[in-house]
Amino acid sequence: MTGGKGTGVLQSVERAMRVLDHIASAPGPVQAKQIARDLGLTLPTTYHLLTTLVTGGYLVHLADERAYALGHRVDDLARGLHRQIAAPPEVQRVASVVHQEAQAASYYATLRDAEMVVAHVAECPAHPRIRILAVGFHQVPHATAFGKLMLATLPVDDRETLLEHTGTPAVTAGTVTDRGLLTRQLRQVRGTGLAIEVDEFQDGLSCMAAPVTDAAGRFVGSVAVSMPTTRLRSDRWSVERAVRLGAVRATRAVALSTAARTGRLSQ
């Protein structure tokens, strides 16, 4: 059964993913009756979905608690994702240089199907990353510097469609949530080739990002840094220089990596 005429969405698969997402977001194991109530499913349908997911290893049934929790296959998927989005070694080296030059946590985020996904982080005890910005992070593009870069490059219709899907929730009191104000901010990002967010993603911390392009000049990723807002304000120009230069180096590294990979595939 599909989720609607012409949608091409299998309703059973869509429901199974909703169940998996629901359990993943829960603080602990969840009972079947609770899942059915929360998702508006019948209890027999819920048990069918749970049994399928347990059989596949995506969930485990904790008999003593009469509840369900994530299974080992979810971890396998996470490791697979990390392998697939991993930044090329050349780009990782660029991130390390930016980390040293900016004296800040450095990130490389890659564009994947209208999502900016953190692919590599360079940090140290003196300059740690924002804890939630781990490899694989891709949420709230309106509130992150590398997300704003992506939004600024999208055609207007595509950007509006994406924002209708993600929304513009307030992550902090400083998050730009007004669509008109965000549009003006993105216009400035396009004009300067640099995105900055100040206290929008986490109070007291700010980020700066510059775009990385492929050999054809298409936006493919971003070099970014995060640091205390007070330091961004005091060292703005030296940090910006490190980020912009890092983006230029990463652009070259992406081109070299692509050429090397294409050469191997053609052999």
Tokens of 108: 């490389």
2 inside domain: no
252 burial class (0-12, 13-18, 19+ CB within 10 angstroms)? Answer: middle
**69 and 94, same domain (yes or no):** no
DSSP label at residue 10: B
Query: Would you state the structure tokens that stand for residue 127, as one six-digit string?
Result: 């300059």
- CA-CA distance, 144 to 174, in Å (whole number)? 12
- Written as six digits, the tokens of 35 are 């899942």
Is 149 contained in some domain? yes
Domain finish residue from 28, 57, 76: 76
Enter the DSSP assignment of 88.
P
> Is the domain of 236 the same as that of 165?
yes
Residues 18 and 97 in one domain: no
SS3 105: strand
Residue range(s) defining the domain that contains residue 197: 86-266
Question: Does one domain contain both 72 and 194?
Answer: no
pLDDT at 215: 86
Cβ distance 208 to 196 under 8 Å?
yes
Residue 47: alpha-carbon gap to chain centroid: 32
Question: How far is CA 106 from each of CA 40, 120, 231, 233, 247, rounded to the nearest angstrom?
Answer: 43, 8, 15, 17, 11
CA dihedral sign, ordered 94, 98, 101, 103: negative
Total tally of structural domains belonging to the chain = 2
pLDDT digits (tens), the chain, 267 positions: 444 444 566 888 999 999 999 999 999 999 999 999 999 999 999 999 999 999 999 999 999 999 999 999 988 888 888 787 788 899 999 999 999 999 999 999 999 988 999 999 999 999 999 989 988 889 999 999 999 999 999 999 999 999 999 999 999 999 999 999 999 999 999 999 999 999 999 999 999 999 999 988 999 999 999 999 999 999 999 999 999 999 999 999 988 877 666 665 455
CA dist., res. 192 & res. 253, Å (int) = 22
Domain membership flag for residue 214? yes
Q: What is the pLDDT of residues 207-247, one digit of tens each?
A: 999 999 998 899 999 999 999 999 999 999 999 999 999 99
